[in-house]
Amino acid sequence: MQKRGCPYGTHRVIDPPGALPQPAWRLDNNMQLYSNEILVDVHNLNIDSASFTEIKQRAGHDPERVRQIIIDLVNERGKHHNPNTGSGGMFTGRVATIGDDLVGRIDLEVGDEIASLVSLSLTPLRIDEILAIHMDVDQVQVKGQAILFESGIYAKLPADMPNTLALAVLDVAGAPAQTAKLVKPGDTVVIIGASGKSGLLCLHEAKKRAGVTGQVIAVERSPQGCQRLRDLGLADLVISLDATQAVHTMNAIATATDGRMADLVINCVNVPGTEMASILATKDGGTVYFFSMATSFTAAALGAEGVGKDINMLIGNGYTRGHAAIALEVLRENPALRQYFLDHYVK
């Protein structure tokens, strides 16, 4: 008879005892199932952009060293939780077993293809073999297994797009969905780090929600990224600058908005040090949404205080109701963006 675990997974925590799985240092990744868990055969990992960027830098961009870092990390912690960024990623796979207490209570059957919508940083994971590492898209093909807790959320993979395409989009589903909630008609919206996955999806939603009376400004460091944004036509204005240069960013946004600044700034950058650029680009009473997992929330809080900015700052919650459906719908609404994702993320 299967034992029952905590709905939030505390029964899997080894170190420190009593912690929740996400902040815990180490989880039990023994795949013997509890009655309120789901066992999944994992096929692909989509590593969080901030985490994969840090791992690649640590490995000197050597795929074999990246492979070993990932294996060592999962073996040590029982999950993919990068200690240097605090972030994880997500997986896709096929449902192998459903715990006795969940049979008939959830909309899954054995054999269903799903994507996890909770972070790998809280997911018990075992990797038996890494089959391929796609360095340019942050994806890793594996043989392995993972556990979803009773409280875990997931999405069935859609039939109208390849699994790797859905994986790339669902990994950042919270960003476009939160954008859809935050942007109002007529808003001036600035998206920093706009040419990555989350930035592109946010641009689509921001343009749709701000409407013809709004202004959507894309900020991107690389010339290639700026050209990509212009080709896709997702922004009213594309500005090439380094967002670690806070005052320069502020001045550029002031020029672009005739001094009004942004109603909403969305930070999708995958490197540290862009908190103050986001804050200074925002008008008093405006909002900054820090989707980036490279954000230092201490730097953001104390930095806003230091420059006397009375603004709302939101932590990039990867979940909001309906986020998977909203993110996937972006690709159905925007054929050019869908083609870009197909060209770059389907391996």
Confidence at residue 345, expressed as pLDDT on a 0 to 100 scale: 86
Split at pLDDT 50, 70, 90, the class of 301 is very high
The pLDDT of 45-64, averaged and rounded, is: 95
CA distances 66 to 54, 61, 70, 144, 175, Å, are 10, 7, 6, 17, 27
Q: State the Cα–Cα distance between residues 95 and 180, nearest whole angstrom.
A: 31
Confidence at residue 316, expressed as pLDDT on a 0 to 100 scale: 86
Confidence at residue 261, expressed as pLDDT on a 0 to 100 scale: 98
Complete edge-to-edge strand list for the sheet that includes strand 188-192: 237-240, 215-220, 188-192, 262-267, 282-290, 312-315
Confidence at residue 133, expressed as pLDDT on a 0 to 100 scale: 97
Which of 263, 268, 262, 264 minimizes the C-alpha distance to 243? 268
Q: Are 175 and 196 spatial neighbours (Cβ–Cβ below 8 Å)?
A: no
Annotated domain spans of the chain:
10-157, 174-341
- CATH annotation of 174-341: 3.40.50.720
pLDDT exceeding 70 applies to what percent of the chain?
A: 100
Q: Are 147 and 13 spatial neighbours (Cβ–Cβ below 8 Å)?
A: no
Kindly report, residue by residue over 109-136, the tens digit of the pLDDT.
999 999 999 999 999 999 999 999 999 9
Q: What's the CA angle centered on 279, arms 274 and 285, to 5 degrees?
A: 160
Q: Are 67 and 61 spatial neighbours (Cβ–Cβ below 8 Å)?
A: no
- Compute the half-sphere exposure of residue 164: CA atoms within 13 Å on the CB side of its CA: 16
Query: In whole numbers, what is the pLDDT of the chain averaged over residues?
Result: 96
Q: Pick 319 or 238 by higher pLDDT.
A: 238
Split at pLDDT 50, 70, 90, the class of 346 is confident
Confidence at residue 139, expressed as pLDDT on a 0 to 100 scale: 94
β-pairing, 154-156 vs 113-116, is antiparallel
Which of 146, 141, 142 minimizes the C-alpha distance to 126? 146
Split at pLDDT 50, 70, 90, the class of 187 is very high
Confidence at residue 337, expressed as pLDDT on a 0 to 100 scale: 97
Place of tokens 């969305």: 266
Confidence at residue 174, expressed as pLDDT on a 0 to 100 scale: 94
Is a pLDDT exceeding 80 seen at residue 26? yes
Is a pLDDT exceeding 80 seen at residue 347? no
Give me the DSSP letters along 118-182: S-GGGS-EEEEEEEEEETTTTEEEEEEEEEEETT--EEEPPTTS-HHHHHHHHTTTHHHHHHHHH
Confidence at residue 319, expressed as pLDDT on a 0 to 100 scale: 84
Residue 207 has φ and ψ, to the nearest 5°, of -60, -40
Confidence at residue 1, expressed as pLDDT on a 0 to 100 scale: 81
Confidence at residue 150, expressed as pLDDT on a 0 to 100 scale: 97
The full 3-state SS of 212-258, as one line of letters, equals: CCCEEEEEECCHHHHHHHHHHCCCCEEEECCCCCHHHHHHHHHHHCC
Is a pLDDT exceeding 90 seen at residue 318? no
Q: What is the CA radius of gyration of the chain?
A: 20
Confidence at residue 222, expressed as pLDDT on a 0 to 100 scale: 95
The pLDDT of 281-293, averaged and rounded, is: 96
Decide: residue 252, CB within 10 A, 0-12 exposed, 13-18 middle, 19+ buried: buried
